[in-house]
Structure 1
Amino acid sequence: MADDEKNPAREVITDYAQAHFRYFRTADGTVYAQKNGHPVARPIRSQGTTGSHRQELMVGLFKDGRGVFNGTALKEALDLIEALALTEDTQPVQIRVAPGFDGATWLDLGRSDGRSVRIHPTGWDITVPDPREVCWRRTQLTGELPLPAKDTDGKGIDLLFRLTNFANAETECLAIAWLIGCLGPSVPVPAPFLTGPQGAGKSTAGRMLVRIIEGMSGDLRRAPKDEENLIAAVAAGWVTALDNLSHMTPDLSDAMCCIVTGAESVKRALFTDGDVHRARYRRPLLLTGIDVGVIRPDLAERLLPLRLERPRVRRTEAELWAEFEDALPVILGSLLDLTVKVRAAEAETPTDLRMADFARLCAQFDAATSLGALNAYRASLDDLNDDVIEGDLLAQTVLLHADSIEPGGEQRMTSTEWLHCLSRVYSGDELRPLPKGWPTTGKVLSDRLKRLQPTLAARGVLIDSGRTREGRYLEMTRRSTTPPSPEQTGAF
């Protein structure tokens, strides 16, 4: 009698699985299976459309002549494997980009053979990563990228800009800086907001930027109606691109801030009473639209406006995308060449900008190319400050009142006194009614001013708070001509 016939089916499956797969768990307790020598890992309980580990086992057992096993045997074997894996060391799984050993980073090409791009300080190459260095997790949103071309001499960057309608060279260099930031797993990057007149090719340019990182299957999508669906979409891919935004609710604005700089979502695990499911996320975000209305100050600090112009000559969709697909290996190769060059450049980190990692990347970009990305980034933030002020009557009123303060002077009052003061400034001699949304209490005013603090500081008005024996106060200072220190412009 054969040995397999003497052993229970669950033992045959378990022995086969442990011989052909490596099992490990992530920090949240999810158990993954990784085929020996292959960098892609799958959750052992997944039933996803990209293939489940259960299906892998069934196919492997059948092709290797071990037989076909019923569902009960497979379930019992997977239960035992999962229990054994919970005693193993934890290891993270990554989507699309990942940190590696010795300062290297990896880019998943989404290929079935597991070949990926290793970007290291001296260059980049295409290889299959060591499974203990990088574990890729793939979803339905993980598209396949072509093998990037070597020795492109920067031609790919020119090819990209020939296919898009960015308004000027400053906008183009910011777009490239953002793409380089997307290849860094530890670099929070601001969200490009592609804007311009109708017919400027915003959606087309957005798709091209996304597909350089996500492959030709990458696309734009409408903003989900609730935060839970947005987080699910963000967690399943690397670059999240939202198209044709015309209005931004406070909840959506706050969710976008969390996506750009990172946050954690905790919810009850399914079919349990007390267990929870944790999801950490920080992803590159891209937006397109003509006008989204009033932009909140905290989101403005995390945006990267990229303006486009209407093209003089129109082309068919088929012709445009065929040329882009042909050029994609060269574009990706040129981007990788430039990424290595930028990362090797030495530059000081600007200390006065919220997105300090991206500001440093822009400084490195300038050191490597002398294209002025950092100045362009500062100018874009200044434009966004203007947009915030134009959409906020309270900010306009504060700046109007600040004109009555001598340069270097300050005023200190309680929040309630400031509310009466600013209300009188807005109403003026005409006693016009206060607008909808105007603060109704001192506490509401204090909270609004905290949100506006970075915007007002960029216009020379510093807001601070404190407490004396008499109570809490708000202090408004009109900055002198001397530039402020980073501590003065930081949020309080």
Structure 2
Amino acid sequence: MEHFAYFRTPDGTPYAQRNGRPIARPLKSQGVAGSHRQELMLDMFHEGLGLFSGTAMKEALELIEALTISGTLRPVHIRVAPCGTTPGVTWLDLGRDDGRSVRIAPGGWEVRVPSADEVVWRRTQLTGELPEPATGHGLAGIDRLWSLCNFSDPESSALAIAWLLGCLDPGVPVPAPFLTGPQGAGKSTTARMLTRVIEGMSADLRRPPKDEDGLITAVAAGWITPLDNLSHLSADMSDLMCCIVTGAETIKRALFTDGDVHRSRYRKPLLITGIDVGVIRPDLGERLLHLKLERPGQRRSEADLWAEFAEVLPVILGGLLDLAVTVRAQDTEVPADLRMADFARLCAQFDQVHHLGALTAYRASLDDLTDDVIEGDVVAQTVLRYAATAGGGPVRQSATVWLDNLTRLYAGSAEDTPYRPLPKGWPTTGKVLSDRLKRLQPTLAARGVAVEWGRHPGQQDPGRSRYIEITATAHT
């Protein structure tokens, strides 16, 4: 206890922190990132005390763990964290053994070792080392990054900068960049570069996990989670990605217990690449950032490309930190019409500094994704088709009647219209249609069709009192 501080995190996990170092280690973990048990063994061995028996070490650690029950509560962070003593200040972990980190404040940034009150870092196998940022280069560092990327338009470049700025601020939920383009456009290479600006040269892309547990494990062990070559998004995986972007928690039974639980909270930056991921659900579409790439005119070898990137990474990181300080100092209003309002405000702050049209590009990105959602959903297409041909004013009908009318409109019941079989996934009951429309409500509203739910006053039959109102509010 003369050499270490012992504490628990808010979720109850005990940690040990060596005095004067901002890095905490779990007491008993046998992971490759190291545990306090291993620290004690090495210290005692180097001090000539030899090796203690497993039983003695186990009992000592159990006593230490018991002492933390009524001790200090302190959060631990991976890579990016808010300052525990000064509001508005954030920290970036460089992943170094000496604990040197970047303090990003409104007046500037500096590299130093934080105190235990300012931030405590947790390290995993995914925590790579970042070079010490270079100073005095400004936006030249960002320009060096774009010279290595293949973005097809300035709007995508501006949104990529805004996303990197959001990754440096743990208080801002950032949408997940969705890198698209033809084969050979360098989607995977660009995704690696964006990730390595924050996570270091050891970071790499990952194959999409097959289940929820696999994705949560990957998210919990790092800061940015880059998923490469997505070809399909199930409904469960889509919902989980929404939770990762905006924040959620999972609760599982703790190992070797009957009633205790393990609690995990997460809200982390997510990045995905793919040529075609299939149908994008509306709620995920509002949490994506569409970045477009094109095939490069001249190819380079992997060795030359990454050698140059590693050489200029200190300049890139320094330029990004300079930009972060300047952007955070801007005073702008929060755009009230966008779901990811914090990121939209960040784009507006960025525009005040460099006038690259990031907020306009963000709106255009959401508009593109809205088209993708509509193109993949036949119910949305049919509702828009109905709204385009219907007269003015709202129309109120029960869900069952709406299902019948939309089915006739899609299948073609007129004598001069050939019959079309209903596609897989078409709603089979009024309740299913109502639930589908609730998911599509923001998407349809973006195309000038308002969908609302209500009850007819004075109706005694509960089965006929509920209605769905569809109104064409603009040209569709």
TM-score range, shorter chain: over 0.9
- Choose the corresponding residue for 2:82, options 77, 89, 99: 99
Shift of 1:35: 0.2
Q: Could you tell me which residue of structure 2 aligns to residue 8 of structure 1?
A: none
CA distance in 1, matches of 2:419, 2:150: 48
Which secondary structure does the structure 1 equivalent of 2:201 belong to?
coil
Deviation at 1:62, TM superposition (A): 2.3
Match of 1:64 among 47, 55, 72: 47
* More displaced 10-residue stretch of structure 1: 82-91 or 370-379: 82-91
Q: Distance in 2 between matches of 1:443 and 1:153?
A: 56
Contact 2:138 2:318 in 1 (8 A): no
| Residue 375 of structure 2: aligned partner | 390
Aligned partner of 2:143 in structure 1 is 158
- Structure 2: 5+ residue stretches without partners: 460-464
- Assess if the C-alpha contact under 8 Å between 1:235 and 1:281 holds in 2: yes
Q: Is the 8 Å Cα contact of residues 451 and 470 (structure 2) preserved in structure 1?
A: yes
2:31 matched to which residue of 1? 48
Q: Which residue of 1 aligns with 2:462?
A: none
Q: Distance in 1 between matches of 2:232 and 2:49?
A: 58
Which residue of 2 is the match for residue 226 of structure 1?
211
2:286 to 297, 301, 304: 301
Count of residue pairs brought into register by the alignment: 463
Correspondent of 1:313 among 264, 289, 298: 298
Match of 2:7 in 1: 24
The Cα of 1:405 is off from its aligned counterpart by: 3.4
2:158 corresponds to 1:173: yes
CA distance in structure 1 between the partners assigned to 2:315 and 2:168 by the alignment: 16
Give the aligned partner of residue 67 of structure 2. 84
Runs of at least 4 residues off by over 6 Å:
none
Q: Is the 8 A contact 2:207 2:227 kept in 1?
A: yes
Q: Distance in 2 between matches of 1:144 and 1:406?
A: 62
Rounded Cα–Cα distance in structure 2 between residues aligned with 1:91 and 1:418: 54
Q: Could you tell me whether the CA contact under 8 Å between 2:16 and 2:24 is conserved in 1?
A: yes
Structure 2 equivalent of residue 365 of structure 1? 350
1:418 and 2:406 equivalent?
no
> 1:480 Cα shift?
4.3
CA distance in 1 between partners of 2:194 and 2:328 (Å): 20
For residue 341 of structure 1, report the CA deviation from its aligned partner: 0.7
Write the mapping of 1:233-382 to structure 2, written as runs, cut at 5 A.
Answer: 233-382=218-367
Query: Per-residue displacement from partner, 1:331-377 (whole Å, max 9, x unpaired)?
Result: 00000000111110111111111111111111111111111000000
Contact 1:397 1:422 in 2 (8 A): yes
Q: Is the 8 A contact 2:411 2:422 kept in 1?
A: yes
Aligned partners of 1:444, 1:326: CA distance in 2, in Å? Answer: 56
Measure how far apart 1:190 and its partner are.
0.4
| Aligned equivalent of 2:454 | 466
3-state DSSP class of the match of 1:294? coil
Letter in 2 for 1:443: K
Q: Distance in 2 between matches of 1:293 and 1:75?
A: 51
How far off its partner does 1:68 sit? 2.8
**Match of residue 451 from structure 1:** 439
What TM-score comes out, normalization by structure 1 length? 0.93
Aligned to 2:18, which of 23, 35, 38? 35
Q: 1:216, 1:325 within 8 Å by CA — same for their partners in 2?
A: yes
Give CA-to-partner distance per residue, 1:271-303, whole Å, 9 cap, x none. 111111110111100001111111111110000
- Asked whether the equivalents of residues 157 and 331 of structure 1 are also in contact (C-alpha less than 8 Å), the reply is yes
Any conservation in 2 of the 1:346–1:367 contact (CA below 8 Å)?
no
Q: Distance in 2 between matches of 1:53 and 1:399?
A: 61
Letter in structure 2 aligned against 1:423:
T
- Give the TM-score of the pair, scaled to structure 2: 0.96
Alpha-carbon distance in 1 for matches of 2:151, 2:474: 37
Paired residue for 1:476, among 464, 470, 473?
470
* Contact 1:166–1:307 under 8 Å retained in 2: yes
Identity %: 68
Q: Structure 1: how far apart are the matches of 2:162 and 2:354?
A: 11
- SS of the residue corresponding to residue 196 of structure 2 reads helix
The secondary structure found in structure 1 opposite 2:336 is coil
CA distance in 2, matches of 1:480, 1:132: 55
Q: For residue 89 of structure 1, report the CA deviation from its aligned partner.
A: 2.6
The answer (yes or no) to whether the contact 2:449–2:474 under 8 Å persists in 1 is: no
Return the alpha-carbon distance in structure 1 between the equivalents of residues 379 and 51 of structure 2: 71
Instruction: Spell out, residue by residue over 1:55-87, the C-alpha distance to the aligned partner (whole angstroms, 9 max, x if none).
Output: 111111222334432111111111111101111
* 1:382-438: CA deviation from partner (whole Å, max 9, x where unpaired): 01111111111110100010113345x111111111101111111222332222211
Query: In structure 1, how many angstroms separate the alpha carbons of the residues matched to 2:193 and 2:309?
Result: 8
Alpha carbons 1:105, 1:184 under 8 Å: kept: yes
Q: Compute the displacement of 1:467 (Å).
A: 2.0
Structure 1 residue 45 displacement after superposition: 1.7
- The secondary structure found in structure 1 opposite 2:73 is coil
Query: Residue 433 of structure 1 aligns to which amino acid in structure 2?
Result: P
* Structure 1 gaps, min length 5: 1-17, 482-492
Find the aligned partners of 1:105 and 1:424 in 2 and give their Cα distance.
Answer: 57
